[in-house]
């Protein structure tokens, strides 16, 4: 087997990173032992195939080629990602391409049977390859195709054949186009795990990236991909919660060698035994992280176990994903990002060994206070997650009455009191975390800049929870909130100014602060008028 993949995922579906920030981190990732970068570019290169979707501040092809040349000089393999089925909002939101959608009005997925889709995708793949000239692998996405089989043409096909055949035929078709160019196709593994009966017909030259973010060894839970293949139908299950389908389908892999403990990474062995090259994929940032702080301990444990698993025989390595719907600075994900390097030099060490190492290496401390504070920020409340803030991958502007609509929905569903209680509990946790971080900032001998990121995250979360309580109880102290919001917005903007392109900073500030600014300005205007 060739050298195993040690990869990091650079996701630009929301983030449009600055050239110098990318270059700095490419150098750091190389020094940390990574050998692969998974580039999810979307609209951030000046594409000719789909010019309407290109961001105003996108890289020119030549600019991006310079970055790829730099990767090559560092020994980093570059794998491009082009979504060929789902997650196509950045294309389908433009009227010129609505005709390619599976369902009119839904912007997430192409129709795999549309007669023009194949030519469109093949042309774009060819254009990608004029930029990614070094690439020997090409990731075609193919995950979370929730609308699959819903249009009249696809529905008729499914009735005659099967949903899995509809999916597999599309993947095989695009994969064949790449294989003829001597390029290995890569897909996410979730859809074939939803429909494992189709695996025998999937081209075995395709590499599978098996992502699993929400569990780790010893948790007593595994992630089961439900055969219904609907959004939210999959989830964590204990041994007692496994249904007959899962037991029949994955049987010996769930409890291997007579073990009484569920095997966290059962799907990797299952897919490998089916004849595929399989890569494990943990995450340092994923849903439902809040927008200011990741679920650090969960991501660390998940990454530690996943990379350890990826180094075992018959697997092809690991890729650490980092999803920017939450847009957390990579500096706040470093506790997960640095795990592969630690494991390379300490292959028999425990997770506890790593957490001690990280605290000593970054801050010169020997206790777990940093991680205890991080854990206190891991839970969210109202207005700390992107769905409640009203933005998603489509990247549209947030409506002026979004916050009021949220309150009306909570009231309609009888959830006001439970959310008030949740916000109160979160305030206590966030304030405790803030005190720990402030104390660390006074006593540590190094790592102060990193701690300041966490202090700002704590302050943002505290204000969100306080605002939520005042907002839901109808007791807003307008001037106080307005002033604090402006201060935190400027401080947060300063954090992102050297990481993201200016237009992207503006977008993120809009998504995370505009709903509050608009609501407060409306109330202040009413207050002034009433006087």
Residue 256 CA: distances (Å) to CA of 23, 209, 223, 240, 251 = 43, 22, 16, 16, 9
22, 67 contact by CB (below 8 A): yes
Residue 260: the pLDDT is 87
pTM for the structure as a whole: 0.96
376, 430 contact by CB (below 8 A): yes
Task: Profile the chain (531 residues) by mean pLDDT over runs of 10 residues.
Answer: 89 95 98 98 97 96 98 98 96 96 94 98 98 97 94 96 94 98 97 88 97 95 78 79 89 90 95 97 96 97 98 96 92 98 96 97 96 97 91 90 91 95 97 98 96 98 93 77 92 97 96 87 65 53
Residue 498: the pLDDT is 95
Rg (CA), the chain: 24
Residue 60: the pLDDT is 98
Instruction: With CA atoms as reference, report the closest residue to 459 among 294, 293, 285.
Output: 293
pLDDT tens-place string over residues 78-116: 999 999 999 999 999 999 999 999 999 899 999 999 999
Residue 228: the pLDDT is 66
Instruction: With CA atoms as reference, report the closest residue to 42 among 85, 78, 89.
Output: 89
Instruction: With CA atoms as reference, report the closest residue to 333 among 345, 324, 342.
Output: 324
Residue 133: the pLDDT is 97
Domains of the chain: 5-220+267-288+303-328 (3.20.20.80), 373-530 (no CATH)
Residue 196: the pLDDT is 85
Nearby residues of 259 by Cβ (< 8 Å), 6 or more positions away: none
């Amino acid at each position: 087997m060739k050298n195993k993949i040690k990869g990091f995922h650079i996701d630009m579906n929301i983030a449009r990173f600055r050239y110098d920030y990318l270059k700095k981190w490419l150098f750091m990732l190389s020094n940390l032992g990574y050998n692969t970068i998974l580039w999810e570019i979307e609209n951030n290169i000046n594409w000719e195939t789909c010019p309407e979707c290109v961001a105003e501040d996108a890289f020119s092809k030549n600019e991006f080629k310079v970055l790829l040349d730099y990767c090559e000089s560092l020994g980093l393999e570059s794998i491009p990602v082009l979504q060929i089925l789902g997650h196509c909002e950045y294309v389908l939101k433009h009227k010129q391409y609505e005709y390619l959608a599976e369902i009119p009005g839904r912007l997430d997925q192409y129709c795999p049977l549309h007669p023009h889709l194949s030519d469109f995708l093949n042309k774009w793949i060819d254009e990608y390859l004029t930029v990614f000239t070094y690439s020997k692998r090409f990731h075609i996405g193919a995950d979370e195709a929730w609308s699959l089989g819903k249009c009249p043409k696809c529905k008729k096909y499914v009735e005659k054949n099967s949903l899995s055949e509809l999916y597999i035929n599309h993947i095989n078709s695009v994969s064949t186009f790449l294989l003829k160019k001597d390029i290995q196709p890569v897909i996410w593994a979730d859809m074939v795990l939803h429909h494992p009966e189709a695996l025998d017909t999937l081209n075995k030259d395709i590499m599978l990236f098996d992502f699993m973010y929400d569990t780790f060894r010893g948790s007593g839970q595994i992630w089961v991909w439900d055969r219904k293949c609907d959004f939210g139908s999959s989830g964590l299950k204990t041994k007692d919660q496994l249904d007959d389908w899962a037991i029949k389908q994955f049987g010996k892999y769930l409890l291997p060698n007579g073990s009484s403990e569920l095997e966290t990474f059962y799907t990797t062995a299952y897919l490998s035994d089916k004849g595929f090259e399989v890569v494990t994929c943990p995450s340092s940032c994923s849903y439902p992280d809040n927008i200011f702080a990741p679920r650090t301990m969960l991501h660390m444990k998940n990454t530690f176990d996943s990379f350890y698993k990826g180094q075992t025989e018959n697997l092809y390595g690991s890729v650490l994903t980092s999803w920017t719907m939450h847009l957390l600075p990579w500096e706040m994900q470093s506790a997960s990002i640095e795990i592969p390097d630690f494991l390379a030099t300490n292959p028999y060490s425990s997770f506890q060994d790593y957490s001690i190492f990280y605290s000593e290496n970054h801050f010169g401390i020997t206790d777990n206070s940093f991680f205890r504070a991080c854990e206190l920020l891991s839970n969210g409340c109202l207005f700390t997650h992107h769905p409640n803030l009203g933005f998603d991958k489509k990247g549209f502007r947030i409506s002026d009455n979004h916050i009021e609509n949220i309150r009306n929905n909570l009231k309609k569903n009888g959830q006001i009191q439970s959310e008030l209680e949740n916000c109160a509990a979160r305030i206590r946790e966030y304030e405790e975390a803030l005190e720990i971080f402030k104390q660390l900032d006074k006593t540590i001998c190094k790592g102060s800049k990193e701690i300041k990121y966490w202090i700002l995250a704590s302050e943002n979360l505290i204000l969100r929870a306080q605002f939520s309580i005042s907002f839901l109880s109808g007791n807003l102290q307008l001037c106080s909130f307005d002033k604090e919001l402006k201060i935190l917005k400027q401080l947060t903007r300063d954090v992102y100014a050297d990481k993201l392109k200016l237009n992207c900073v503006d977008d993120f500030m809009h998504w995370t602060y505009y709903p509050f600014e608009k609501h407060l300005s409306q109330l202040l205007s009413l207050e002034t008028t009433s006087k």
